[in-house]
């Protein structure tokens, strides 16, 4: 397990408090997942010359709202689109950011990574990219090992593969692609080349979703 020296505004003592808060907020198996994501995000960050401490912090915090009831998710993160209202679980990234901000967490890079881990990183936030990849490929999931290995050598290629894999899965199941995920997909370089054979998510689809 990687234990980076924290460079965040929080003191080491304060950081221990954040980690404990996450443990109390989620189910035991979810917390095990959280720690695996944090470890992998830190490894990806180290391999790509990124801030290891921020990657680890974002990994620990990313699912802080994951086990909240639907009504609380909707209260913390009012729906932006139909998918959010029909499937509140899609909101747990935004809800997690809201919680952290209300509790005084201030690192904007980490907050954005928490918000975007469900639907895809925006605006070139490399820490968010590392956490998104770690979340979909941590060893406990038993899938996406090739994405995990690729991220240790080529973060951009791993991110592209992770987003395309998710969109392809959703389309194959006839499931609506969340608008934020669609935007993340459309920002990929491959989308500038329609002849590449990549999937092209529809604007509308059946009213079900997967996060």
User: How much is the pTM?
Assistant: 0.85
- Whether 16 and 60 have beta carbons less than 8 Å apart is answered as no
Per-residue pLDDT of the chain (211 residues; tens, 9 = 90+): 333 333 444 445 456 689 999 999 999 999 999 999 999 999 999 999 999 999 999 999 999 999 999 999 999 999 999 999 999 999 999 999 999 999 999 999 999 999 999 999 988 999 999 999 999 999 999 999 999 999 999 999 999 999 999 999 888 988 899 999 999 998 888 775 555 555 554 433 333 333 4
DSSP 169-206: HHHHTT-PPPHHHHHHHHTSGGGG-GGG------S---
**Domain spans of the chain?**
12-154
Q: Cα Rg for the chain, rounded, in angstroms?
A: 16
CA dist 158 and 146 (Å) reads: 9
Could you tell me if residue 104 is left (phi over 0), alpha (psi between -120 and 50 degrees) or otherwise beta? left
Q: What is the pLDDT of residue 154?
A: 97
Confidence at residue 123, expressed as pLDDT on a 0 to 100 scale: 86
Q: Going by C-beta distance under 8 Å and a sequence separation of 6 or more, which residues neighbour residue 85?
A: 74, 79
Give domain 12-154's CATH superfamily: Hypothetical protein af1432 (1.10.3210.10)
Torsion angle defined by CA atoms of residues 93, 134, 19 and 128, in that order, rounded to the nearest 10 degrees: -50
- The pLDDT of residue 208 is 34
State the burial class of residue 90 (Cβ atoms within 10 Å of its Cβ: 0-12, 13-18, 19+).
buried
d(CA 62, CA 189) in angstroms, rounded, equals 26
Question: How far is Cα 70 from Cα 72, in angstroms, rounded to an integer?
Answer: 5
- pLDDT given for residue 195 in this prediction: 52
């Amino acid at each position: 397990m990687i234990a980076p020296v924290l460079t965040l505004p929080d003191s080491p003592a304060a950081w221990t408090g954040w980690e404990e808060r996450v443990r109390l907020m989620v189910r035991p198996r979810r917390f095990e997942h959280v720690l695996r994501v944090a470890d992998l995000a830190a490894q990806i960050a180290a391999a790509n010359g990124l801030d290891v401490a921020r990657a680890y912090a974002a990994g620990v915090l990313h699912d802080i709202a994951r086990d909240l009831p639907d009504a609380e998710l909707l209260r913390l993160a009012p729906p932006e689109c139909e998918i959010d209202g029909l499937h509140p679980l899609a909101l747990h990234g935004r809800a997690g950011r809201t919680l952290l901000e209300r509790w005084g967490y201030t690192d904007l890079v980490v907050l954005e990574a928490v918000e975007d881990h469900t639907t895809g990183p925006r605006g070139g936030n490399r820490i968010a990219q590392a956490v998104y990849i770690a979340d979909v490929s941590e060893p406990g999931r038993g899938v996406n090992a090739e994405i995990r290995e690729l991220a240790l050598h080529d973060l951009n290629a791993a991110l592209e593969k992770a987003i395309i894999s998710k969109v392809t899965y959703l389309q194959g199941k006839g499931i609506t692609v969340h608008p934020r995920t669609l935007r993340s997909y459309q920002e990929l370089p491959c989308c500038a080349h329609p002849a590449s054979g990549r999937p092209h998510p529809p604007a509308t689809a059946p009213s079900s979703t997967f996060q």
